[in-house]
Amino acid sequence: MTAKQTKQTELTPQRNPTMADIARLAGVSASTVSRALAGLPPITEETRQRVEKAARDAGYTVNRHARSLRLRRSGMMLVLIPDLANPNFPDLLMHIDRAAFECGYDIMIAHTAIDPGRSDRFVDELLAGGIDGVLLTSDYCPPRLLERLDAGFRLPIVRTLSPGSVTHGIASVQIDEVAAAFDVVSHLIEAGYRKVMHLGGPEEEVVAIARRKGWHDALHAHGLPHEDAQVLHGGFLIEDGRRAADFLVTQASIPEAIFCSNDESAYGLIAGLKEHGLRVPDDIAVAGFDDLAFSRVLDPPLTTVRLPRREMAEASVRMLKTLIESNTTGTDEVLRHELIIRQSTQPLEKSAR
């Protein structure tokens, strides 16, 4: 071989593997390879894994643009987030992104608290095919989507993390908020606390209403009074908890325990109570809801309800993928919550009262 021929050989790029190559390696037909890599039925899990391994071994990569054109899908899921400053959402988004990637999708994030009108633009993208489906993470759903749903249009939408006030047929992946609140208040009662107050979230917010109902039901089930005067309506922020502490110390008596609608307001409540010279749980027990990362290192560590954020993300992405890729109707999936008992609600007899 001449030097010129050698140079030409070195400059000739290696041929990219084709679906036919993958089919030979996997021992299946080219059409089976196509369907397996696209995640289409009727392909068994064993065959799909064999095809994917053959594709990896051969260095084959899917042309996502061509695939999108062929399937008439963009491969994009829209995630509507009401408040990125809320510590629940970064963790949830991380799990949504990972689950979507494993399902062959990318995600686009819309922060509705900054400009709710932005959601209309994304609705246009959904209706035009630029977005395949929508994940809602709060009670909010763009009005234009609700109008379409009410008109009988089938749209792939799943709600997770927060229940909705009106379902409109939207599939959901949730925990039972009422039952979870019931469990944490029952824990307080069984630990010896009888005067249990509730620091609620915004009065009209669906998740706050559900958690308030759980508090009410637990007191009723244990034969304890449950009057409106025992509820402090506030919000979900640390400042709301501080304001509640400032109010409580002006009263003739304080409750034995307080169930807060979320962990952030519990943080503020505990900090405010300490500033007024009250000890948790010696003078008053405090429980929250969410189990944010800081709750385990708070002083004292906070009793709370753990939201299964990873499981909620994975289940909601799988459900949305099914709605996108088939004509099935979504259902409601209820996941298990977990009561996390820590030092902020130690039994009453162990406190120095």
Region 293-310 average pLDDT? 97
The predicted model scores a pTM of 0.78
Indicate whether 56 belongs to any domain: no
Give the separation between CA 223 and CA 330, rounded to whole angstroms: 39
Q: Do 157 and 194 belong together in one domain?
A: no
Region 191-198 average pLDDT? 96
Q: Do 258 and 344 belong together in one domain?
A: yes
Q: What pLDDT is recorded for position 296?
A: 97
Give the separation between CA 202 and CA 78, rounded to whole angstroms: 27
Sequence letter at residue 147 = E
Give the separation between CA 100 and CA 61, rounded to whole angstroms: 18
Q: Please provide the average confidence, as pLDDT, over all residues in the chain.
A: 86
Q: Which of 167-171, 187-191, 195-199, 302-306 is predicted with the least confidence, judged by mean pLDDT?
A: 167-171
Q: Do 261 and 221 belong together in one domain?
A: yes
Q: What pLDDT is recorded for position 287?
A: 98
E-only strand ranges, 142-263:
157-160, 171-175, 196-200, 231-233, 257-260
Q: What pLDDT is recorded for position 139?
A: 87
Indicate whether 67 belongs to any domain: no
| pLDDT class of 229 with cuts at 50, 70, 90 | confident
Q: Are 268 and 275 in contact (CB under 8 A)?
A: no
Q: Do 182 and 297 belong together in one domain?
A: yes
The whole domain housing 85 covers 75-175+309-336
322 φψ region: left (φ > 0), alpha (ψ -120 to 50), beta (else): alpha
| pLDDT class of 247 with cuts at 50, 70, 90 | very high
Q: Do 113 and 126 belong together in one domain?
A: yes
| pLDDT class of 49 with cuts at 50, 70, 90 | confident
* Number of domains, the chain: 3
User: Chain centroid to CA 261: how far?
Assistant: 17
Number of H helices, E strands in the chain: 13, 12
Q: Do 199 and 297 belong together in one domain?
A: yes
Tell me what percent of the chain is helix, strand and coil, each rounded to the nearest 5: 45, 15, 40
State pLDDT tens for residues 117-156: 677 777 777 777 678 999 999 888 888 888 888 888 888 9
Tell me, what CATH number does 287's domain have?
A: 3.40.50.2300
